[in-house]
Amino acid sequence: MTRTVQITRALMTAGLLETVRRKDLYVVLILTVLLTLGASAFRVFGVQGLEIFVKDVAFTAIGVMTTVLTVLIAARQIPEEMQRRTIYPLMARPITRGQLLLGKWATAFCTAGLCFAILALVTLGLLASLGIPLKPIFIQYVLLKLMGIGWLCAMVITLSLYLTPAANVTLSLILAFGSGVFNRLLLMAHWEHDLSAIWLNLLYGVLPHYDYFDMSKKVVFDWDLAPWWVLGAMGGYAVISGAAWLLIGWLRFRRQTIG
Amino acid sequence: MRAIEVCELVVAYRRWFKPPFRAVDNLSFEVREGEIVGFLGVNGAGKTSTIKTLMGFQPPTSGEARIFGMPATDARARQLVGFLPETALYSPYLTPYETLRLYGELHGLRGRTLKAQIEALLEAVNLAPKMHTLNKNLSKGMLQRVGIAQALLGDPKLLILDEVSSGLDPIGKRELRDLLATQRERGATIFFSSHELAEVASICDRILIIHQGRLIAEHRLSELAGRVESLEDYFIRTVQAGRDALLVGEDADATRSQFVASASPPTHAPSVALAPPSTTALTDSEDAA
């Protein structure tokens, strides 16, 4: 266990250093600030009462940027090591493939989580400076989003072991942004009976649901805190579903030829 | 004790609508502890596939590969191994110091021991002045030195080096020879593939030559000294003879025994022009060195 922690920490440190030096984060940060400032510029024209609009733009920007960043960061963890052949000296060390997979997931989660935290803090500060306060549900939004990032990283890393990098990024973005559409299945299940309803319910349960981890609209419309057990249940879903994704990835990776 | 044992190893790659391609075909050999063994063959002979299997990167199709008695796929076996891949690329966004720290920590080293080892190794490969420069700003030769340093982390008992001198300038090659000599004095076993036959002749105890995935020759260099003009000459003629034998469908074992039994060069006249033997000439004194 200690050894796994040491391996994960070493991989995470290197991964974070790489991300900071790649400068992806700075571009995203500048874009988010520009979008939020752009939305708030309506005040210049004397239009008042647009707090909800400005918040909506800001949280949509955070959501989109975070999802894209998470997919890109997670998708490059293992394929990039293979492409530039740095996987050889990594796997030449006394580490198992399971430990490498776990380490890469932790790296992607920490890096994407840090990017999201920075984006959320900057937006919080920016909105406060514009005189738009946020309710405590913002804390629940951040926690839930972090769970979603961990879950999304597990899915993308696993898909990266089965698909080409381009196919993985495309499919992951479709699943992440399109997961809200799967709710239609649940509606359809209500209309159907017997076996059809069971199948639709099963399909709904099996399909990945990144939309579960987004409560940005509740922040925008100043909802009160959600019951904490709901967050606990979501945490459980993220852990079980994320672990299942990583298990599927490990089953492939443990016998895969490297390089 | 045997550092490496390869027994009837087969590595086959699946192909669509064709029979699998056997990159390594019933290969068997051993490397004893403390030996320096050169693993030779033309491009596509199966050297890298064999090395990948030894490092656990490639599961064998059949047969087995063992490192110090442990299966090559066992992560514990790699605790005793230092590996330099053929193309040494390292994260462009890390410095040589950070690169070595990453691999050192993965190896289980930490704290002052790790720091001291990194500094000593970067000094040994003449990269100390560049230890805080990003890898993307280093030349190919410098990256190869980073690779050599990472392979030596943790004082491995066995060094597996794939095309070790690739990208190094003549000074770098000389320094590498000295470094490998130091490793030999330390008692390390070295197994390496190379196309630089002069380098092989100067540091190896024994050579293995493979062709089309099969072992076609295995000699101690002291056996060859004085009996062949040069290692280069011998290598070319051996590979040519092996190719001819395989083309007419001779049994691989018979082909192998033909060369192993006799240290004399094959009777086939070489059909390729031989390079002047000056650089790879084998003498008793060189072999003794």
Q: B106–A7: do the CB atoms touch at under 8 Å?
A: yes
Helix axes B96-107, B111-124, angle to 10 degrees: 130
> What does the pLDDT look like over A78-131, one tens digit per residue?
999 998 888 999 999 999 999 999 999 999 999 999 989 988 988 898 888 888
pLDDT (0 to 100) of residue B109: 92
Of residues B282 and A16, more confidence is placed in A16
Residue A259 lies in a domain: no
> What does the pLDDT look like over B233-257, one tens digit per residue?
888 888 888 776 665 555 545 544 4
pLDDT (0 to 100) of residue B180: 85
Q: A93–B78: do the CB atoms touch at under 8 Å?
A: yes
Q: Are B52 and B216 contacting, i.e. CB atoms less than 8 angstroms apart?
A: no
Amino acid at B188: A
Of A6, A18, A93, Cβ closest to residue B94: A18
Residue B214, both tokens: 């099969």
pLDDT (0 to 100) of residue B270: 34
Q: A95–B75: do the CB atoms touch at under 8 Å?
A: yes
Residue A57 lies in a domain: yes
Q: CA A12 → CA A73, A107, A143, B122, B167, distances in Å?
A: 12, 4, 21, 23, 30
Nearest C-alpha neighbor of B130 from the set B95, B106, B163: B95
Question: Looking at beta carbons, which residues of chain B come within 8 Å of A255?
Answer: 59
The ipTM, to two decimals, is 0.84
> What does the pLDDT look like over A118-163, one tens digit per residue?
889 888 988 888 888 899 999 999 999 999 999 999 999 999 999 9
Mean pLDDT of all residues in B87-104? 91
Question: Looking at beta carbons, which residues of chain A come within 8 Å of B81?
Answer: 92
Residue A11 lies in a domain: yes
Question: Looking at beta carbons, which residues of chain B come within 8 Å of A95?
Answer: 75, 78, 106
pLDDT (0 to 100) of residue A110: 95
Upper half-sphere CA count for residue B232 (Cβ side, 13 Å): 16
Extents of the domains making up chain B: 196-289
pTM: 0.85
Nearest C-alpha neighbor of B165 from the set B277, B38, B56, B275: B38
pLDDT (0 to 100) of residue A220: 92
B110–chain A Cβ distance below 8 A for any pair: yes
> What does the pLDDT look like over B6-61, one tens digit per residue?
999 999 988 888 888 999 999 999 999 999 999 999 988 999 999 999 999 999 99
B140–chain A Cβ distance below 8 A for any pair: no
Q: Quick one: CA dihedral A151, A152, A156, A159, positive or negative?
A: positive
Q: A14–B98: do the CB atoms touch at under 8 Å?
A: yes
Residue A127 lies in a domain: yes
Residues A211 and B69: their CA atoms lie apart, in Å, by 51
Mean pLDDT of all residues in A62-77? 94
Question: Is the confidence at residue B262, as pLDDT, over 60?
Answer: no
pLDDT (0 to 100) of residue B224: 79
Domain that holds residue A246: 2-253
Of residues A257 and A44, more confidence is placed in A257
Number of domains in chain A: 1
Of residues B81 and B259, more confidence is placed in B81
B124–chain A Cβ distance below 8 A for any pair: no
| Residue of A7, A12, A86 to mutate when probing chain B, most B C-beta within 10 A | A86
B57–chain A Cβ distance below 8 A for any pair: yes
